[in-house]
Structure 1
Amino acid sequence: MEIDTKPQETPKKDCKPQECMGALLPVRDALEVLSGRWKLPILIALSDRPKRFNEISKDINGITDKMLSKELKDLEINKLVTRKVYDTFPPTVEYSRTEHSQSLTNVIMALKDWGTLHRKEIIGK
């Protein structure tokens, strides 16, 4: 399956509902992949170097092992994280961000900037 990587047009203010929804499909796809409380913190935890499961767990306050495992599998399915198993006893497993996930860096920074503005607007801090 080939993915269209060309920039999509921004929906026009006067577009018909079908046209607007079609233009927003990539946004909906992105939100589905990154939705939830833990996916972005996991990607940020892996931003400096590959880490083992317990290292990621320690970096993310409040996540359970079950949830971390589930979210890592989701991120792996979406090609944002890779899992490497070393032939040791006991087996060593290391997680790292993919090259594809590096394209999210600007998105994460834009969300941080917007979140800062939004906090100021809502709570004045």
Structure 2
Amino acid sequence: MRFNEIARQLSGASKKVLAERLKAMEENKLITRKVISSKPVAVQYAIADRGLSALSILEVLKTWTIENNL
């Protein structure tokens, strides 16, 4: 997914904060970052294996927050 696609889905988050969070997730090996050689140059992000391993935990947390109206 490209940066601007992520930004559109997260309306309300500033692009600066989004860039910082994506960088932190990349440093923690939760996502991968790939520069696409096109004009204009674009960056594509994808969930890494380490990030995939956390999905089941996040699904449980999501369900819990919904059930508890949080």
Structure exhibiting the larger radius of gyration computed from Cα positions: 1
| CA distance 1:116–1:89, shift in 2 (3 Å) | closer
CA offset at residue 74 of structure 1? 0.4
Structure 1 unmatched runs, 5+:
1-50
Could you say which structure has the higher strand fraction?
2
TM-score normalized by the length of structure 1: 0.52
Q: Which stretches of structure 1, 4 residues or longer, exceed 6 Å deviation after superposition?
A: none
| CA distance 1:116–1:88, shift in 2 (3 Å) | closer
Equivalent in the alignment of 1:101: 51
Aligned residues with identical type, % of pairs: 36
- 1: CA distance, partners of 2:33 / 2:56: 24
TM-score normalized by the length of structure 2: 0.88
Q: Which has the higher contact order (CA 8 A, sep 6+)?
A: 2
Is 1:91 the counterpart of 2:62 in the alignment?
no
Structure 2 unmatched runs, 5+:
none
| CA distance 1:84–1:117, shift in 2 (3 Å) | same
Give 1:115's match in structure 2, choosing from 44, 53, 65: 65
CA offset at residue 109 of structure 1? 1.1
